[in-house]
Structure 1
Amino acid sequence: MELKKNIEDGGIQTQTKLAYPKCIFFIISNEVCERFNFYGIRTILYLYMTDKLKLDPNTATVQFHAFSMFVYFTSIFGGILSDVWLGRYRTILSLSIVYAVGSLLISIVAIPSINISATGALYVGLAFIAIGSGGIKPCVSVFAGDQFKLPEQSAELDTFFSWFYFAINLSVLISSFLTPFLRENVHCFGENDCYSLAFAVPAFLMIISIVFLIIGKHWYTMKPPSGNILFQIMKCITNAILVKIRLWGGDSREHFLDYSIEKYGQQLVDDTKMLLEIVLIFVPMPLFWSLFDQIGSRWVEQATKMNGNIGWYKILPDQMQMLNPFLDLAFIPTMDFWIYPILNKFGIRSQLQKLAIGGFFGVISFAASAMVQWQVEVKPDEVHILWQIPQYVFISLGEILFTIPALLFAYEKSPDSIKSLVQALLWLTSAFGSAIVALIASINYFNSLTYEFLLFSVLMLIDIIVFMILAARFQRREKSLTV
């Protein structure tokens, strides 16, 4: 620790600067390996479904997004498990083991000579991965946040979330390149590709992630679970509604939850108020994730009908996804060191303002992808795959301005007792985003992807306007809420 001494009014004031928590290394290493596993599998999953399982593109799209939806739905399970019973560390550890089992199962069933149903075993493996990945998702960032002492280290915490996301994207970049490379260039079991190896490498990294988590146990700050806080919140809301109905037209209060103050106390009522305000902000978020999630499905489908030759090398359709983490790695420090200070000068400082800007970049990205798709449908296999770069640039800018501020907003505004639950609700918006894509793909209303991309662009524009209205409302109401 470093001591700073300031002389004020003739006296000496000693202020202690807290050391940066060293255990963060183990948490980031755990997350990096886990993300390598998830995105390594996810990058080649769509083509595995179409190439090996012989699913048609629409069916593969629906099942790909159904998997993503299941992953983020199970985040609620992880958040409740963490906040109510096991605590964050034990939740992450136990569900990581489930996660590793699912990853190993997928790599084994991808071996052609294995005499079991590849489709059925794949779904079982994906179910294990969804439970594990989704379950730990709301816990890891909160567990990392627990290692900082607030408010003394609030600046360090803000910086941590940016670099945490930077480390994740470095891992995603490597996995997005490596797993398609292994799939295409390694030949095994008498076939011209090697999906089993491409799935096995991420599975091995998942096991390493568990090792990193366990090694750091001695240094972690572990906060105990808060008990049945979720059920208390539900009872608080139910009681307030019943009391309000019983006193209809009589006792008038500023907020309907104030009717529960006598029974549940001011603190729980205030926490519940803030939770409801946060949830309302989350409502428009699914549409952005429905755009972002199509990087792994519709944009791969688009790339399969484009020319990937660059002379000495042919860019594979599923390798274009690596542009996203590559751009993220460039944009994160750019945002922190240059863009955010400039935005601050124009009064754009809040996380919700940054989220709104990120949504507008999503609008532009799908307008750009529609323009590319129109050319692809006119001249199939002739349009160069590098024309996808603009849409990746815009969606990546949107992701940085959407994801990191969303994580910070959810952590900073949520009451201590339900931080994992609030993070779970944030990731649940991604589940609904995947559901939107799966629904539109299953309806198969459009004969052209051009119109489908344009639809998403217009919907996102409407959605972000609604978000801005809700964000302005939240900032007005926040002043009257106590967390």
Structure 2
Amino acid sequence: MADTAGHLCLSESTTRLRHVRDHVPRRIWLNYMEHPLESTLDDPPGALGLGQAIATRIYCAFYVFYYTTPMLAAVISDSYLGRYTTLLISAALYTLGCIILSVSSSSKLLEKGWGIHGLAVSMVLIGLGGGGFRATIVITDYRLTLDYIYNLYYWVGNLGSLAWFISVYIELHVGFAAAYGLATGFMRVAVVFIIAGRPYYMLVQQEKNALLDAVRIIACACRNGFSMAHTYPAHQEVRYHKTRPWSSQLVTEVTQCLQACRTLVAFIMYYICFDQMQNNLISQASQMKADGTPNDLLPALNTVGCIVLGPVIQHGLYPFLHRRHWYPSPVTKITIGFVFITLSMLYATIIQHVIYQSPPCYSQFEGCKYNYISVWLQAPVYFLISAGEIFAFFTALSYTYELSPESMKVLVQAVVLLIGAAGSACAMALTPLVYNPYLVYYYAALTAGMGFTTAIFWLVFKSGSNHHGLAETA
């Protein structure tokens, strides 16, 4: 958190640059992996030629890794290195990953077969670096931080993501090495901000990370019939004659936190659908007539949607409803968000059906480039995802943070990341189904799954949605 206006401005600048480097390399990976190097101007750019299913599988596997590394980094940061040192090391790892990615994607090295090796190494380094960045976020006032996420961090982050528009055109007209070089350049600038801002940062003293004890308590509960009541030190002493290093209060706080995080289980299906935006929907766009538009440009509309719709919903819609004495509960907001995600998958299903009904390829793309249907018909799916993200995801974060004890906020962060990893793992498991001419059934199954999840979520949580004093949470 900032203690001076100067640090706040520096923090915003660093955040914006971090989101630029965070989105540029990862968001153009799919074309890089899926399509071959030898392509014409009418074809999507590519390098490795692995195909849609394998490229999607690798992409999802990376996100499983990316979502789990912050927990390891948080323990190392709090127990050994300190947050600032961890931040510097993470920046160095991420920068090195971008450099390796940029160099290995040059035409000469791609022709020598070094592209896949460079990608693998860079994914590991970028995953470790990105995890370290997430782990060094210090929260001292959770009410202020939630407002910060809604009104500044989230908006600025998406503003930085607009670099995607630049990178996809560089990728198409210059090459992947130059596009990845853009991320490398911005990352170097971010490192300068981190080092130059050192005198302005409020450094938090190292303290024991509560996550390790929380994990031990949960593991103990799993070994004792999945009962948190059996993890209390007194019960362990009487039943097993074992002395546990945690207190009864900590067990109670972990129990409260897990109860607060129950709503997050539904987000596994949310992440499965959300991941489509970063892989399969890009592949879908390559089956449509682009007229010079890069096929991986349209997912950037999700960023535009978040930038535009975020303030409208937070500062327009919610105050409008409050003036009319309607305070939708967090569960209601999350359900509305899930409905938007369901509609986005339904729209993707319809678009895929229209693609298969259009000439000249119809549903057979072997030796055929694309069908005569405009790629811009895909645009609404990204705005629907944006609305779902605003209503559901950030409301859920606020909801779980509010219900969790102060000492367990780190466990909430861990659960959120694990849910994201689980969603990406499930999406990876579905990749064998990602083949033409069966993609209509694939998107229809996602629509049905998200719709079913929405209904179950509402039925399970609606009765208790107003019992926690959160009905007016914005």
Aligned length: 434
Note closer, same or farther for the CA distance 1:453–1:139 as it changes in structure 2 (3 Å cut).
farther
In the alignment, structure 1 residue 356 sits paired with structure 2 residue 335: yes
Q: Are the equivalent residues in 1 in contact too, given 2:28–2:168 (CA < 8 A)? A: yes
Task: Report the equivalent of 1:338.
Answer: 316
Note closer, same or farther for the CA distance 1:361–1:139 as it changes in structure 2 (3 Å cut).
farther
2:128 to 120, 131, 148: 131
Q: Are the equivalent residues in 2 in contact too, given 1:360–1:461 (CA < 8 A)? A: yes
User: 2-side partners of 1:391 and 1:326: how far apart?
Assistant: 13
User: 2-side partners of 1:119 and 1:53: how far apart?
Assistant: 7
C-alpha offsets along residues 129-159 of structure 1, whole Å, 9 cap, x if unaligned?
A: 112113322543xx2x43xx56xxx367515
TM-score, length-scaled by structure 2: 0.82
Task: Report the equivalent of 1:108.
Answer: 103
Task: Report the equivalent of 2:384.
Answer: 394
1:72 to 47, 50, 67: 67
Q: Are the equivalent residues in 2 in contact too, given 1:95–1:132 (CA < 8 A)? A: yes
Q: Secondary structure at the match of 1:383?
A: strand
In the alignment, structure 1 residue 217 sits paired with structure 2 residue 178: no
Task: Report the equivalent of 1:290.
Answer: 272
Q: Are the equivalent residues in 2 in contact too, given 1:26–1:215 (CA < 8 A)? A: no
In the alignment, structure 1 residue 171 sits paired with structure 2 residue 171: no
| Cα drift, residue 322 of structure 1 | 1.5
Between 297-306 and 89-98, report the one with greater CA deviation.
89-98
| Cα drift, residue 406 of structure 1 | 3.2
2:9 to 17, 25, 49: 25
User: 2-side partners of 1:461 and 1:346: how far apart?
Assistant: 29
1:382 to 372, 375, 400: 372
Letter in 2 for 1:46: L
Letter in 2 for 1:301: S
- Where in structure 2 are the equivalents of 1:47-66 lying within 5 Å? 47-49=31-33, 50=35, 51-66=46-61
TM-score, length-scaled by structure 1: 0.81
Q: Secondary structure at the match of 2:161?
A: helix
2:415 to 425, 428, 438: 425
- Where in structure 2 are the equivalents of 1:260-299 lying within 5 Å? 260=233, 264-299=246-281
Q: Are the equivalent residues in 2 in contact too, given 1:172–1:325 (CA < 8 A)? A: yes
Task: Report the equivalent of 2:282.
Answer: 300
User: 1-side partners of 2:358 and 2:414: how far apart?
Assistant: 44
User: 2-side partners of 1:406 and 1:400: how far apart?
Assistant: 10
Task: Report the equivalent of 2:349.
Answer: 370
Note closer, same or farther for the CA distance 1:347–1:20 as it changes in structure 2 (3 Å cut).
farther
Q: Secondary structure at the match of 2:205?
A: coil
Task: Report the equivalent of 1:12.
Answer: none
User: 1-side partners of 2:388 and 2:10: how far apart?
Assistant: 29
- Where in structure 2 are the equivalents of 1:78-117 lying within 5 Å? 78-114=73-109, 117=114
State, as a whole percentage, how many aligned pairs show the same letter: 25
C-alpha offsets along residues 308-360 of structure 1, whole Å, 9 cap, x if unaligned?
A: 23xxxx21111111111111111011012211223444644444432222111
Note closer, same or farther for the CA distance 1:431–1:160 as it changes in structure 2 (3 Å cut).
closer
- Where in structure 2 are the equivalents of 1:320-335 lying within 5 Å? 320-335=298-313
Note closer, same or farther for the CA distance 1:110–1:363 as it changes in structure 2 (3 Å cut).
same
Letter in 2 for 1:180: V
1:256 to 229, 234, 249: 229
Q: Secondary structure at the match of 1:382?
A: strand
Q: Are the equivalent residues in 2 in contact too, given 1:76–1:428 (CA < 8 A)? A: no
Q: Are the equivalent residues in 1 in contact too, given 2:57–2:428 (CA < 8 A)? A: yes
| Cα drift, residue 451 of structure 1 | 1.2
Note closer, same or farther for the CA distance 1:242–1:294 as it changes in structure 2 (3 Å cut).
closer
Letter in 2 for 1:425: V
Note closer, same or farther for the CA distance 1:171–1:273 as it changes in structure 2 (3 Å cut).
same
| Cα drift, residue 446 of structure 1 | 7.5
1:453 to 443, 449, 471: 443
1:316 to 294, 297, 307: 294
Letter in 2 for 1:91: T
User: 2-side partners of 1:374 and 1:219: how far apart?
Assistant: 55
Task: Report the equivalent of 2:240.
Answer: none
User: 2-side partners of 1:23 and 1:470: how far apart?
Assistant: 44
Note closer, same or farther for the CA distance 1:235–1:382 as it changes in structure 2 (3 Å cut).
closer
